[in-house]
């Protein structure tokens, strides 16, 4: 196996391990380490297991995609590709969050509902409610959809005027087009899964522990498999906007609703319309 290939395979794993170690140290510095990690008997082992879990999920869900940047896209048999794979990474993220919380809070005198709400940003501040925050998120999602698409269009126009429009991408990635061809209910489920799971992990879990900008960088890296600069530009804008929503409202419900709505509009309307117009 060529040395370059080995490096490309090893770097995401090393990056995941280093990032997990850094998240643990940052969590400790912010006074957010769970009480289970201070347990006299098993605390160190529980903490180490949590770091290993984070390293694995960051390797698979974040840095593996970034490691493919610049490489030719792998050939995928979309006709035989199972839609279940769309939920695979989200399932891994949820399993990691659940395991981390169990390692940190099990047998420490906390109710599971308290832990989940307080540690993942699901607790709404006094004077508001989940329906109110979700409604605000839907409104924000509509505004973001218009704003982000306009920003991407302006950026593409500027690049085209400077470097030539023939250098701009003319079609969406095959994976996106395939997702847009799935049954409507499945597309809706994918949008809901992305809105809930990604916001829980990146905004609910990571942002309080590593900060605003670091969590956004990790979110963008997790979507690096798109390998189209304008799509990643849009992802970065959305990520910052979702994070600002969380910071403003003090919970992740508006970001979940906005994220879901944006993805739903794309998968239910925009992508199928574009694919139909292109004759695919």
Mean pLDDT of the chain: 88
Asked whether the predicted pLDDT for residue 175 surpasses 90, the reply is no
Q: Which residues contact 71 (CB under 8 A, 6 or more apart)?
A: 8
- Determine the Cα angle at 274 with ends 273 and 276, to 5°: 65
Question: How much is the pLDDT for 157?
Answer: 85
Asked whether the predicted pLDDT for residue 174 surpasses 80, the reply is no
Asked whether the predicted pLDDT for residue 277 surpasses 70, the reply is no
Asked whether the predicted pLDDT for residue 159 surpasses 90, the reply is no
Domain ranges of the chain: 3-278
Cα 175 from Cα 267, distance rounded (Å): 12
Assign 182 a pLDDT band (cuts: 50, 70, 90). confident
Asked whether the predicted pLDDT for residue 87 surpasses 60, the reply is yes
User: What pLDDT, in 10s, does the model give residues 188-244?
Assistant: 999 999 999 999 999 999 999 999 999 999 999 998 876 677 788 899 999 999 999
Asked whether the predicted pLDDT for residue 280 surpasses 70, the reply is no
Structure tokens at 241: 């906007």
Cα 201 from Cα 96, distance rounded (Å): 9
First to last CA, the chain: 37
Question: How much is the pLDDT for 168?
Answer: 67
Asked whether the predicted pLDDT for residue 170 surpasses 80, the reply is no
- What 3 state SS string does the chain have? CCHHHHHHHHHHHHHHHHHHHHHHHHHHHCCCCCHHHHCCCCHHHHHHHHHHHHHHHHHHHHHHHHCCCCCCCCCCCHHHCCHHHHHHHHHHHHHHHHHHHHHHHCCCCCCHHHHHHHHCCCCCCCCCCHHHHHHHHHHHHHHHHHHHHHHHHHHHHHHHHHHCHHHCCCCCCHHHHHHHCCCHHHHHHHHHHHHHHHHHHHHHHHHHHHCHHHHHHHHHHHCHHHCCHHHHHHHHHHHHHHHHHHHHHCCCHHHHHHHHHHHHHHHHHHHHHHHHHHCC
Question: How much is the pLDDT for 156?
Answer: 82
Assign 8 a pLDDT band (cuts: 50, 70, 90). low
């Amino acid at each position: 196996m060529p040395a370059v290939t080995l490096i490309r395979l090893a770097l995401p794993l090393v990056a995941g391990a280093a990032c997990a170690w850094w998240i643990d140290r940052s969590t400790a510095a912010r006074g957010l380490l769970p009480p289970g990690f201070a347990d006299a008997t098993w605390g160190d082992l529980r903490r180490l297991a949590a770091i290993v879990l984070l390293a694995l999920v960051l390797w698979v869900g974040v840095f593996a995609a970034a490691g493919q940047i610049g490489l030719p896209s792998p050939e995928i048999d979309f006709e035989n590709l199972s839609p279940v794979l769309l939920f695979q990474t989200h399932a891994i993220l949820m399993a990691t969050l659940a395991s981390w919380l169990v390692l940190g809070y099990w047998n420490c005198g906390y109710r599971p509902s308290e832990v989940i709400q307080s540690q993942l940003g699901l607790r709404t501040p006094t004077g508001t409610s989940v329906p109110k925050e979700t409604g605000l998120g839907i409104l924000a999602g509509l505004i973001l959809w218009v704003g982000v698409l306009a920003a991407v269009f302006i950026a593409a126009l500027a690049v085209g005027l400077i470097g030539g429009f023939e250098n701009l991408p003319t079609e969406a990635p095959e994976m996106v087009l395939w997702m847009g061809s799935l049954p409507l209910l499945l597309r809706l489920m994918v949008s809901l899964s992305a809105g809930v799971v990604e916001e829980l992990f990146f905004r609910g879990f990571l942002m309080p522990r590593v900060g605003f900008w670091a969590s956004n960088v990790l979110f963008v890296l997790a979507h690096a498999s798109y390998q189209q600069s304008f799509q990643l530009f849009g992802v970065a804008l959305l990520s910052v906007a979702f994070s600002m929503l969380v910071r403003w409202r003090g919970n992740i419900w508006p970001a979940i609703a906005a994220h879901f709505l944006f993805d739903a509009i794309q998968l239910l309307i925009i992508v199928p319309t574009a694919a139909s117009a292109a004759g695919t």
